[in-house]
Structures are given as structure tokens and as C-alpha cells.
Structure 1
Amino acid sequence: MAKKNLPNIPIYIGDWERDCNVLSLESEMAWMKIIFKMHLNGKQSSYKTSTKGLQILWKSQGEKVKEIIEELLFNEICEISEITGGFIFKCRRLEKENKISKTRSEAVSKRYKNKKEDTSHLQTSYKNLQNTDIDYENESDNEIKNKIEIEKGVVGEIFEHEFTEILSDFFLQTTEAQKMKVNGFLRSKLIRPQIENFKLQTQAYAEYKELTGEKIHNWFSYQAEWDREDWIKKLEREKLNNQRKDVKKNNQNSTGASDEFRTKTAERLGIIQSK
């Protein structure tokens, strides 16, 4: 889930210009104020407000608010539902992004939930590899070597298949053709030392994007750019910043409570002295 009070809003300039160039400057700014409210509410795709609240938000009187709403509806900028005493605005882009984010989260959670069951074959294969001295004591060196290489290949295929599934789900590569391309990319990395780093960086990337609510790369962009950032360090910094913000917020709340207590105490003392 995207965190509340996001520090930044990703605006797709091309989409915004294409959709909002038909609006008056007044109506365009009014829609942007609605988008601000949606992000402040945790990137919700809808925003509910009273008629009076809308007048305050847009700094406009009733007739002007009506004109802006009509302009937004006429140009199909968003969905607007009139309710008793107010309105509900719905942003189609945020609704789509939230559905994609939810799909990704559920897919990754499901994969990791079943990870123990999925890796039972791995454990068996590794156990067989560890017991090669016992299993192969009557075999020749070449036979032993060939058998170990085969079993290592089985382990690699199981690991690769599992990671391919997780990766495909996260980046919404759901068709067989798309999964084959993901698998092909991983096969090219498995022969290099990069594979373990790629896995760790990707896990950090997914957690970082989930934590910040930032836009997720499409698969083709990610496979070309994944090593341009150190996602492990970025995730650590983000977690540290969040911890500092939480500490600062708690300190402010504590200070506020102390100030209130001192004020009330001073008032009580003043009353006693006056008596």
C-alpha cells in the first residue's frame, strides 16, 4: 500500500497537456487541487467533499464552482458524482494505478507465501549433492562428475523458474510469450556473477517502490536500467528517513502535550494566587 502524505506527485506531462489543454487555466488548476487532495489521502482514486468545502478549496463562489464542474465533465477529465450536500470526484489514472499496484502486491505475497513448498525440491537436490561421497563411492570419477553437474542443473532450473514467476508477476508479464522473455533474460544472467546481485537489487527495488509509492518501471526499462541505481542503499536511506520523521513527529507531539500541561498548570496557579 502506498504511504500517506506522499512527498511528491508523479505528473505525466504528456498526458496532462493532452487532457487539460482544452481547459481554462482556472479549471485546470481546480482539477490539480483535487489531485493534490487525492494524494494527501494516501493516493486514493476518489475524493469526496461538501459543496462548501469545494468552494473553499477552489476559492470560488457557487456559480463559478458550477461552471468549473460543467467544464470538467464536458471535456471528460474525470468522473464527478453529485451527492447530497456535495460531490465525489474520481481519477481514472489513479484508479488504474492502484489496481495494478494491488495486483502486483497480491501476486508477490502469494509467491512468497508458497515459497517453502516450492523450494522442497531444492532442499532434496542439495541434500543429494551433499551426500555424493556416500552415493557415488563405487562409481568412477567421470560418472560422479557428470551426475553432480546434472543435479546442479536441476537446482538451477528450479531456482530460475521460481524467480521467473515472481519477476513476471511483479512486472505484469503474464502471457507465456512475456514469461519466456523474462526467462531468457535470467538465463543470460545466470552464467554471470551478476545474478545474485540482480536478485538482491530487485527485491530492494520492489520494497522501495512499495514504500514510497513511486512509479514502477515497465519490464523492458527495468532490465536495461536496474544496475544504474543501488536500490539496496536507496531502500536503507528511505527507511532511515522515515524513522527520523517518526521520531521527530513523536517528539513534536510530546512537546505539544508538555506545553499544554504547563499552560494549564500556570492557569491553575494564577487562579490560586488571585484567591
Structure 2
Amino acid sequence: MRIGFLGTGAMGTPMAHRLIAVGHELAVWNRSEGKTEPLLREGAIAAGTPAEAELGADVVITMLFDDHANEEVIFGQNGLMDALTPSTLHVACSTISVALSERLTREHARRGIPFIAAPVFGRPNVAEAGKLWTVVAGPDDLVERARPILEAFSRGISVVGKEPKQAHALKLGGNFLISAMIHSLGESFVYAKAQGIDPEVFIEAVNSALFQSPFYAGYAHVMLHPPEHVGATINLGAKDLRLLREAAASAGARLSLADSLAEVFEQAKQAGLAEEDWAVGQYKMAQRRGTA
């Protein structure tokens, strides 16, 4: 299948690698020059603009950083939207606001262009292994059309509704739970150390007794043994939390824990931790706050 892939950053590149590995033909584009080079060496074709990536494509995947990047790439000069045709399926894998997802749905419908949302859970190393978890929303026939492509980089797929915004809303809710988990782990480790308990022993005992979760174990390992390469950053976590709170407010819901976590993220940015790994930065804040 011919695929246009827009956004070859830390997550997009390994996802695109997986698509090439299973035999798809890719045309790739990224806002920053040089980021597509590893994919070009594997046989991908370089697109000069977002619109060029669509030429002859059966599917176009967008995996861009935030709302601003999506709006610029999709609606800007030489943007994707004006190039899309009714024969090309647009799959939005980015983590974006519910409001932008609604706008994209309306605009695609107005032009008769098929569109679904398929944001993913997982860090870059998980994407490299082809073990992301993808949440999908859109019309049933389009979801089934996209499924073989999504399976190339997914260990599982959850279909969460027929409206694309539902997948983007779920992704924001999931990222909120990750932030909450990291925050609770960080404070628990501060507590454990204060009681003379090794945090490694603490998480092994508690996780075995209560959660049996590889997710708790995995993030605890990242926090206690910071990786050489940053996954998601504090800035990214703060962005997703802001989008969650905006979506909640627009629906008349108030999330007190999300409000508290927003303060933690703001303090982390003020402390110069904006580009730290999301989990590592939150743990550092727990340590600072716990000894204040």
C-alpha cells in the first residue's frame, strides 16, 4: 500500500520504520530537515511538502507534535487538506485537542474525505518494537480499512467509537492517568526513602501485591534509572494535561487532580525541567517538594 507519512520525530520515525518493514511504500515529510534521512536510507521517498506526500497515496498518516503543528501542516500553505482526495484515507495519529479533532472531522466531511483518529500509547522504544497500543475512532468501514496498517506498529487496537474525537479524548485521558501514576510513584518513593526503604524494593513489593502491572514497573524503572534518550518530555506532558483540562471544561467537568498536576508541571518548567523526560522530571519534582 502507498502511504504518505507526515511527522518523522521520535515517535513517527519508528512507526514509519515498521510500515516499511512489512512492505508498504512510504513518502515521508517532516518540518525539520534531516529527520527523514533514516527512512530514506530504507527506501522511503522524500516529499517536498505535506501536499506532495499525498500524491498517489492510499492512506496519509499524520504524527505531528501538537495542535499548532497540525494546523500548520494540514491547513497551511501547500498543506495536506487541499491535496487530499476522496480516495485517500487520512489517519490522525497525533495527540491533539478534542476541539481540533472536531474541526478536522467537520472539514473532512465537508470535502468528502475519509478520516479517522488513531492516537497511540507507548514510548519510542515501544514503537520500535511494534508494540504500541492504538485507540481508533471513526466509521466502521474506515477503521477496517486502516486496521492492516495500524497492526504494523501495534500490539493491540481498541476501537472506542464512531466519532474521531472520542479517540483523541481517550488518549488525553490515558495520558492524564500516566501523569497521575508517575506523581503517585514519585511521592511513594520519597516516602519509602524517608522510611529507610529502597524504592526498588518498595515498587517490587507493592506492584506484586496490588497491581501486577508492567506499566508501573516500567515507569518506576525509568524514574529510578533515567534513560540515555528522553522519551516524552515534561513540556509534552504539560501540553497534554492542558488539552485534557480544556476538553473537560468544555464539557462542564472539573478535574481537581488534573488542576493540581498542572501546578506541578508549571513548577517543573520554572525549575528548568521542561525538556527532561516526563517521568524523570516529575520524580525530580516529587523529590524537591518532598524535602522542601
- TM interval, short-chain normalised: under 0.3
Structure having the larger proportion of residues in strand:
2
* Higher RCO (CA < 8 A, seq sep 6+): 1
Radius of gyration: which is bigger? 1
TM-score after normalising by structure 1: 0.25
